Amino acid sequence: MSETSSDDLTLLSHAGNRPADHHGIINPPVYHASTVLFPTVAALEASLEDRYSHVHYGRYGTPTTFALEEAVAALEGGEKAIALPSGLAAINVALMSFLDSGDHILVSDSVYAPVRTLCDRLLSRFGITATYYDPLIGAGIAELIRPNTRIVYLESPGSLTFEVQDVPAIAAAAHAAGALVVLDNTWATPLFQKPLRHGVDIVIHAATKYIVGHSDAMLGIIVAAKPHWRAMKSCGHAMGFAAAPDDCYLALRGLRTLDVRLRRHEANGLALARWLSGRPEVARLLHPALPGDPGHALWRRDFTGASGLFGVVLKPCPPAALDAMLDGMKLFGMGFSWGGYESLILPVKPARVRSATPWEEDGPTLRVHAGLEGVADQIADLEAGFARLAAAREASS
Ligand SMILES: Cc1ncc(COP(=O)(O)O)c(C=O)c1O
């Protein structure tokens, strides 16, 4: 863990804001738009010439969208960012922009499960094949690259099982074969990992998570260097995607406090993980910032912090005992997504969403999101949960 750089802190506070353009108002207002009027035929023609750099039609974005895109691109060190209606929409656009019929894509086995659905059920219909690889493969990925491999798709760490990948080694092998490298950076956010510096070509964020940070908006963002963003802007537009202006506003507002929120998520997550590692019910923690974690060395090399999402594998217990633990939680809510201010806990089944590297843990796996509540209260909630688990196990024996 290291301090956020002064440059990033200043970008978080100011990037994308232009008060002088908005009567001195600090936050860019929410522009709702479909039709944009042109005063003359000449102005209309000129606007058609370069639709991506100004307000042209609502679907291409408004000053609210542009402000968010500018800020995220600056934080990632990319040329341009593109806001899309969800993280999954961003993934779709990043893949569909570059894959053609007959192409092959390499996808990490630890990937966010709907990406598998996209590859196996949708892209496959267009003659695109996917191979899933061991997230720990590193430079060995070279052996899986085929002449028609167009994209290597990474999520590091994986948001279910938390393996950290050797991104520079994978990127070097992919580039040597002429393939693009796409990485989902949602877990780390632009503050804790800078994938473009490690050889990645296209970075994806489910801004729905930490960037929005309050569980009240759906949004995705892609960041890329020049040769790639134009193709993606064009593809996103062809698919009819438009990020909602209110959600862009919420994401930009969330960004302003990202560092202070993430630091608390990180501290609470580590405190919970350490406490859990001392519990008799726990078999194993999945948290790359813990020194014993298999991904710790790579995490130390490539990341500057850890967010608040991690996994815990419990020792085998009767399903009803696990239900008793989870059903009675007071602070930890059960639900999908993560990255908001509140704590979450979710039973997950990694074995169901892997094909290259079987998940062989006997006990149940829980995904924990450490929210911003007091850590003593979070621990008390988990402790009470373990007491319910023990009581239910006792009752059933
Ligand atoms: C790692 C990761 N990427 C992408 C997504 C998709 O984001 P969204 O829910 O905004 O479509 C998720 C959602 O949970 C995720 O966990």
Please give the structure tokens belonging to residue 186: 């949602």
Which tens digit of pLDDT belongs to each residue from 362-396? 999 999 999 999 999 999 999 999 999 999 999 98
Q: How many A from CA of 187 to the centre of ligand 1?
A: 10
pLDDT in tens, 121-134: 999 999 999 999 99
Give, in degrees to the nearest 5, the angle at Cα 340 between 24 and 375: 115
Task: Give the predicted TM-score (pTM) of the model.
Answer: 0.97
CA 89 to chain centre: 12
> Structure tokens of 37?
């009027």
pLDDT at 227: 85
C-alpha separations of 30 from 205, 253, 314 in Å: 21, 11, 46
* Active-site residue, 184 included: yes
The sheet that has 365-369: what strands, in order across it?
282-286, 309-314, 365-369, 344-348
Q: Where are the beta strands (DSSP E) in 52-145?
A: 80-84, 104-108, 129-133
Q: How long is the chain?
A: 397
Residue with tokens 């990341």, as numbered in its chain: 303
Q: For 48-52, 54-58, 262-266, 275-279, which range has the lowest pLDDT when averaged over its residues?
A: 48-52
Distance 369 CA to ligand 1 centre (A): 14
The residue to mutate among 88, 92, 241, 250, having the most atoms of ligand 1 within 8 angstroms of its beta carbon, is 88
Question: Can you give the pLDDT at residue 100?
Answer: 98
What sign for the dihedral angle of Cα 155, 119, 139, 134?
positive
pLDDT tens-digit readout, 286-340: 999 999 999 999 999 999 999 999 999 999 999 999 999 999 999 999 999 999 9
